[in-house]
Amino acid sequence: MNPGIYQALYIISAASFILALKWMSAPATSRRAVISGEIGMLLAIVATLLRQEVISYEWIAAGLIVGSAIGVPLAMLMPMTHVPQRTAISQACGALASALIGTAEYFRQLPHGFTMGALVLETLLGFLTFTASLMAFGKLQELLPSRPITFRGQNFFNLGILVIAVALGGSLVFHPENTIIFSIFVLLALVFGVLMIIPIGGADMPTVIALLNSYAGLSACAMGFALDNKLLIIAGALDGSSGLILSIIMCRAMNRSFTNVLFGGFGQLQAAVAGQEAKPVRSASPDEAAAILGDARSVVIIPGYGMAVAQAQHKIRELHDILIKRGVDVKFAIHPVAGRMPGHMNVLLAEADVPYDKLIEMEDINGEMAMTDVALVVGANDIVNPAALNDPTSPIAGMPILDAYKSRTIMVIKRGMSPGFAGIDNELYYMDKTLMLFGDAKSFVAGIVKELSSNH
pLDDT in tens, 23-63: 887 777 888 999 999 999 999 988 888 876 767 788 888 98
Marked catalytic residue, from 204, 239, 382, 403? 382
Tell me the pLDDT tens digit for each residue of 131-174.
999 998 888 777 887 777 878 888 889 889 999 999 999 999 99
357, with CB counted inside 10 A (0-12, 13-18, 19+), is exposed
Active site annotation includes 295 = no
Average pLDDT over residues 236-260: 78
Q: Is the pLDDT of residue 261 over 70?
A: no
Q: Is the pLDDT of residue 265 over 50?
A: no
pLDDT attached to residue 270: 46
Q: Which residue has the higher pLDDT, 117 or 338?
A: 117
Average pLDDT over residues 256-275: 50
Ordered by start, the domain boundaries in the chain are 1-77, 101-268, 286-454
- The proportion of the chain whose per-residue pLDDT surpasses 70, expressed as a percent, equals 90
pTM for this predicted structure: 0.77
Range 223-228, long-range pairs (CB < 8 A, 24+ positions): 223/98, 223/101, 223/102, 223/118, 223/122, 223/126, 225/114, 225/115, 225/118, 226/102, 226/105, 226/111, 226/115, 226/118, 226/119, 226/122, 227/101, 227/105
Q: Is the pLDDT of residue 321 over 90?
A: yes
Q: Is the pLDDT of residue 274 over 50?
A: no
pLDDT attached to residue 264: 47
Strand 374-378 vs strand 298-303: parallel, antiparallel, or unpaired? Answer: parallel
- In whole angstroms, how far apart are CA 45 and each of 51, 213, 226, 232? 10, 21, 18, 11
Alpha-carbon distance of 427 to 419, in angstroms, equals 11
- Specify the CATH superfamily of domain 286-454: TPP-binding domain (3.40.50.1220)
Mean model confidence pLDDT for the chain: 85
pLDDT attached to residue 143: 84
Q: Which residue has the higher pLDDT, 16 or 141?
A: 16
Nearest to 306 by CA among 441, 143, 170, 127: 441
For the ranges 39-48, 74-83, 227-236, which has the lowest average pLDDT?
74-83
Ramachandran area for residue 133 (φ above 0: left; ψ -120 to 50: alpha; else beta): alpha
Average pLDDT over residues 85-105: 90
> Could you tell me the pLDDT band of residue 418, with boundaries at 50, 70 and 90?
confident
> Could you tell me the pLDDT band of residue 389, with boundaries at 50, 70 and 90?
confident
pLDDT attached to residue 258: 63
Q: Is the pLDDT of residue 267 over 60?
A: no
Alpha-carbon distance of 242 to 263, in angstroms, equals 20
Rounded to 10 deg, the angle between the 113-140 and 179-197 helix axes is 30
Q: Is the pLDDT of residue 266 over 50?
A: no
Q: Is the pLDDT of residue 92 over 60?
A: yes
Q: Is the pLDDT of residue 422 over 80?
A: no
CB atoms within 10 A of CB 323: 23
Tell me the pLDDT tens digit for each residue of 355-379.
888 999 888 999 999 999 999 999 8
Average pLDDT over residues 112-128: 92
> Could you tell me the pLDDT band of residue 299, with boundaries at 50, 70 and 90?
very high
pLDDT attached to residue 257: 66
pLDDT attached to residue 275: 46
Q: Is the pLDDT of residue 272 over 50?
A: no
Q: Is the dihedral of CA 371, 372, 375, 380 positive or negative?
A: negative
Q: Is the pLDDT of residue 386 over 60?
A: yes
